Structure 1
């Protein structure tokens, strides 16, 4: 999924003005990761990086090269669990949040014809 420049600018401005929006995006990225939608999750995290800490600061905070972080969060990137946790921890601190997980019983889909 290619994002338009207008979309990126809109997200960037909203994240800077609205901390709740940034936290909601972070929450959505984590939920997507846990539910196997990694490509979309990485896109959201990449936009959060661009809108908040930037890749250079993220590189310093995680002790990972900026280019490696760019690759990890690309559509074909495959971050290790340790690298992903390092990135998530930067956002936990930056957004002042804790991560909690709640398991819910899967709801059966019904076909309403």
Structure 2
């Protein structure tokens, strides 16, 4: 699924003026991955990277080629857990947030 340029521009502008929005996108991407919806999570994470650290800086932070990162976060991408952890870690650090994971017990 290709997103229209207006959508991408809107995400960048919103992230620049509202840091809470960027954090909400990161939270949503993590929640989607954990809920078994990796396709949607990758697309959100890709837009978040574009709007925050950028793929060139992400490549430096993760020691991965920028082109590989683009492929990993594409609609057909299949990043390993190690690569996802590196990407989430770099974006999380850039946004200066931490994850608070809670386990909900099912009864």
Between 1 and 2, higher relative CO (CA 8 Å, sep ≥ 6) is seen in: 2
TM bucket normalised to smaller: over 0.9
Q: Which consecutive residues of structure 2, in runs of 5 or more, have no partner in the other structure?
A: none
Partner of 1:74: 74
Structure with bigger gyration radius: 1
Q: Quote the Cα distance in structure 2 between the aligned partners of 1:38 and 1:84.
A: 11
Q: Quote the Cα distance in structure 1 between the aligned partners of 2:105 and 2:32.
A: 17
Partner of 2:32: 32
Q: Which consecutive residues of structure 1, in runs of 5 or more, have no partner in the other structure?
A: 107-113
Partner of 1:6: 6
Q: Quote the Cα distance in structure 1 between the aligned partners of 2:26 and 2:63.
A: 21
Partner of 1:109: none
Q: Could you list the per-position Cα deviations for residues 12-34 of structure 1 after superposition, in whole angstroms to 9, with x for gaps in the alignment?
A: 10011110000000000000000
Aligned length: 106
TM-score when normalising by structure 1: 0.89
